[in-house]
Structure 1
Amino acid sequence: MTAATVIGVDAATPGLRDADHLARALAGELGLPDTASVGTHAVRAGRPHLALSLALPDADTADGVWRALAGRAAPGPVGLAYGERRHGPAGLSGGAAHAVTERTVHGAGRAVLFPGADGLTGTVGVAELLAASAVDEVVLLGAGDRPSGERRIVTRDHLRPEWREGRLVLTVMEAVGGVLVPFEVPDPTPCCADH
């Protein structure tokens, strides 16, 4: 992943649910390819919020997405960052640049969209999930152990793995009946959702 293929978008999104909605809306509006991924990143400068990183398969695709985003009439202020380019208010374009740095330099962030994610609905096996998506590893919360490939994950149609040092890792928990569930729930309690 290089900065030449990652675009940061900061609309001062206050919470995870809103960030997920923005990520999906932009992916649809821009027609992002299946090989693209979109992540969220905490911005702590000013009022804490979330920004997005859009990782695209090549520089040509990234250039086209940049032009579309920069020429887009957004409903509110939006900052963009791509390489040395900045667009929008300084605070927001700085947040967008932070998202790019988190993704490209630190290999960090929370994945909303990633290759193979659309096919991971219902209940899937660990081995199947790893083979069919960009997820590199599944780990059990707390123990850090890797569940066997035969274990089943009830996805709740909401998988949000995290990039950790450039690897996409899905954290799961034990659930009733011996199945696993993703650590992040689809509709977090508002008071706790953004901590």
Structure 2
Amino acid sequence: MTIECGHSFCYDCIYQWFSNKINCPTCRHDIENKPILNIHLKEICHKIIESIIENTSNGDGDSGGVDHLMNRKLECLKTYNLDVKNKSIFGDLFNNTVTTLIDCSDGVARCGNCHWEVHGSICSHCGTRFRRSTRNINGESEEDEDEEEDEDEDDDDDDEDAFEDVVAGFRQSVEINEYDSDDSFIDSRTANEIPVGTDSDSEISIHIN
């Protein structure tokens, strides 16, 4: 059986796992939809078992291990075929389950069926089994909330970048307009230290006292 995260398991094994918690044994992904039969993988497993039996019959393996493998295969097939015949694949695990809702007013998880406050994996009010918390009372999914949080973080980053640009521009402006007494075109001498100049065109001498 293949579940929605892509991992595959024996029907009997994953059924027993789901009786404890409805998630993937490998990656712990919460399962919302009923697993489906992986026909291609079923054929591969069948060929592998046939190959093991053939090699064992030729004296290349442990006959006891093969007997155990065959018995286990028959047990699993019997359980699966019986559930298929009765149209009860995974029993009521996916027929009597709902997703929990997150109450925006107080952040409390509530039953998606009766809105009772959630404690554990089964509603203490209506007996419904929970799969996962995916939506709040307003119908907004956690993914939508995560996207909004990411957008808010991006907006904050943009505001910070814009503020830093303004500060950098202000500092640059101050540096450009700042008076530098060491500039070469600034004459810091007093009036008495400046030599008297002569206007060669009018031959008028200017004396500075």
Q: TM-score, normalising length from structure 2?
A: 0.28
**Which one has a larger percent strand, Structure 1 or Structure 2?**
1
**Which one has a larger percent helix, Structure 1 or Structure 2?**
2
Q: TM-score, normalising length from structure 1?
A: 0.29
